[in-house]
Amino acid sequence: MKLLLLLTLVAMAQGLGYRVPLKKAKSLRQMLRERGLLESYLKQHHFNLAAKYFPSRISAEPLQNYLDNEYFGTISIGTPAQEFTVVFDTGSSNLWVPSIYCSSLACSNHNRFNPAESSTFISTNESLYIAYGTGSMSGVLGYDTVTVSTIEVLNQIFGLAETEPGAFFYYTPFDGILGLAFPSIASSGATPVFDNMMMQNLVAENLFSVYLSKDEQSGSFVLFGAIDPFYTTNGITWIPLSAETYWQITMNSVSIGGKAIACAFGCQAIVDTGTSLLAVPERALSVILSVLGASPSGQISCRAASRLPSIVFHINGKAFPVPPSAYVIKSNGYCTLGFQGMDVPTESGELWILGDVFIREYYVIFNRATNMVGLSRLP
């Protein structure tokens, strides 16, 4: 509140035409520092203050943290722009939003794209179907201008949802999904948004990076075309991809208290911003819950939860710990562990999904130029 009042007073003074002699004027940075508000302001407005130092073709898309469960931002499609909230999902590759043709209940309470109101829309006769871990959609494909933050992508192919069966998407706080994985897993061969950003030379570097805030705080973002050094003070560990499908990497093992308890002979993992929890093979889940003293459903007393050890993911010869403060979920006086069971075998071994529970501990760089994932432990 104090920060808001200070900024309001500054804005009012400027708007009313007050002019303070230059020699006596204090900068906004000085005023914020004197009131102990500078650090808070920098965290919330980092890109605004640094924008003049950024080269062109770098753009930050702010994300809203919804209950530490989902992170989504606002994009626009068409001319004039029609706005939609979308999950920026590194676990899929298609962009789709609800359309006016959708008759499902899930579309009734979300924004719907109207192609007749866009002068740049191009229709196709191609169909689209996508099944996620929770929920599915089907519809048709079209082309239009898609704007993400300050980046305008021309002739972007996207899905216009006509059916969204079931209840899952009805209750989501976002309209659609923007996939950031590789073209090889895109349904109907659609070119992903980031691939078009690269091909149209809209990003300074062929990479994007992600910061997800904790405890429902603001400040989450996807940064297109750059790595923000503000979040990499602990250095970056680069991990080569094991497949150019999802952002898939090889894990060496998973340990608790210095003892390997799962993935002892190596396994596969994908770094997925679109998955809330840590998804692990059922057999490994049973071992983890037993070692941590939780019930088969993942419940644990909050008192016991406060004394739990870190879970350490060993990747590319380095250790990446996730403390109990990250993987214990507290709600209404109860505590559960942020794991879910999932069996998806791959040619290279069992598959784990490092979802938001893991990502919140690290600044993650998704590098298409080198086909690597970079991880930097957040301070």
Is residue 37 a part of any domain in this protein? no
pLDDT of residue 355: 98
Count of domains in the chain? 2
CB-based contact 65:217 (threshold 8 Å)? yes
Q: Is the pLDDT of residue 30 over 70?
A: no
Is residue 27 a part of any domain in this protein? no
* Residue 142, domain CATH: 2.40.70.10
Q: Do residue 147 and residue 169 come from a single domain?
A: yes
Please name the amino acid found at residue 71. Answer: Y
Is residue 206 a part of any domain in this protein? yes
d(CA 149, CA 73): 9
Instruction: Give the model confidence (pLDDT) of 182-238 as tens digits.
Output: 999 999 999 999 999 999 999 999 999 999 999 999 999 999 999 999 999 999 999
Q: Per 3-state DSSP, what percentage of the chain is helix, strand, and coil (rounded to 5)? A: 20, 40, 40
One-letter-per-residue 3-state SS of 208-220: EEEECCCCCCCCE
d(CA 167, CA 175): 14
User: Which pLDDT band, with edges at 50, 70 and 90, does 344 fall under?
Assistant: confident
d(CA 76, CA 28): 32
User: Which pLDDT band, with edges at 50, 70 and 90, does 308 fall under?
Assistant: very high
One-letter-per-residue 3-state SS of 176-203: EEEECCCHHHCHHHCCCHHHHHHHCCCC
pLDDT of residue 333: 86
Place of tokens 């061969």: 189
Average pLDDT (340-362) is 89
Average pLDDT (38-57) is 51
d(CA 257, CA 76): 47
- Report the catalytic residues: 89, 272
Take residue 269 and report the two structure tokens written for it.
């993992």
Q: Do residue 116 and residue 246 come from a single domain?
A: no
pLDDT of residue 165: 94
d(CA 56, CA 152): 13
Average pLDDT (355-367) is 98
Strands (E), 225-371: 237-240, 243-244, 247-256, 259-262, 267-271, 278-280, 299-300, 311-315, 318-322, 328-331, 334-337, 339-341, 345-346, 349-354, 362-367
pLDDT of residue 94: 98
Q: Do residue 69 and residue 205 come from a single domain?
A: yes
Mode of pairing for the β-strands spanning 334-337 and 339-341: unpaired
d(CA 37, CA 213): 19
pLDDT of residue 56: 73
Q: Do residue 277 and residue 357 come from a single domain?
A: yes
Q: Is the pLDDT of residue 168 over 60?
A: yes
Q: Is the pLDDT of residue 46 over 70?
A: no
Instruction: Give which of 234, 226, 223 is closest to 318, Cα–Cα.
Output: 234
pLDDT of residue 52: 42
Neighbours of 5 (CB within 10 A): 9
Instruction: Give which of 238, 248, 255 is closest to 350, Cα–Cα.
Output: 248
- Cis peptide bond upstream of 62, omega within 30: no
Average pLDDT (147-168) is 96
Question: Which pTM value belongs to this model?
Answer: 0.85
Q: Do residue 346 and residue 244 come from a single domain?
A: yes
Please name the amino acid found at residue 259. Answer: K
Which of 224, 257, 292 represents a domain boundary (last residue)? 224
Domain limits for position 319: 229-377
pLDDT of residue 111: 98
pLDDT of residue 24: 37
* Residue 123 CA, distance from chain mean position: 29
Instruction: Give the model confidence (pLDDT) of 108-148 as tens digits.
Output: 999 999 999 999 999 999 999 999 888 899 999 999 999 99
CB-based contact 310:323 (threshold 8 Å)? yes
Q: Is the pLDDT of residue 260 over 70?
A: yes
Determine the 3-state secondary structure of 7 from DSSP: helix
* Beta carbons within 8 Å of 329's beta carbon, 6+ residues apart: 68, 335, 336, 337, 338
Q: Do residue 255 and residue 349 come from a single domain?
A: yes
Instruction: Give the model confidence (pLDDT) of 173-183 as tens digits.
Output: 999 999 999 99
According to DSSP, residue 5 is labeled H
d(CA 285, CA 342): 9
Q: Is the pLDDT of residue 14 over 60?
A: no
Which is more confident, 227 or 7? Answer: 227
Q: Is the pLDDT of residue 325 over 60?
A: yes
d(CA 23, CA 27): 11
Is residue 54 a part of any domain in this protein? no
User: Which pLDDT band, with edges at 50, 70 and 90, does 33 fall under?
Assistant: low
Q: Do residue 210 and residue 258 come from a single domain?
A: no
Radius of gyration of the chain (CA): 22
Lowest mean pLDDT among 81-85, 333-337, 358-362: 333-337
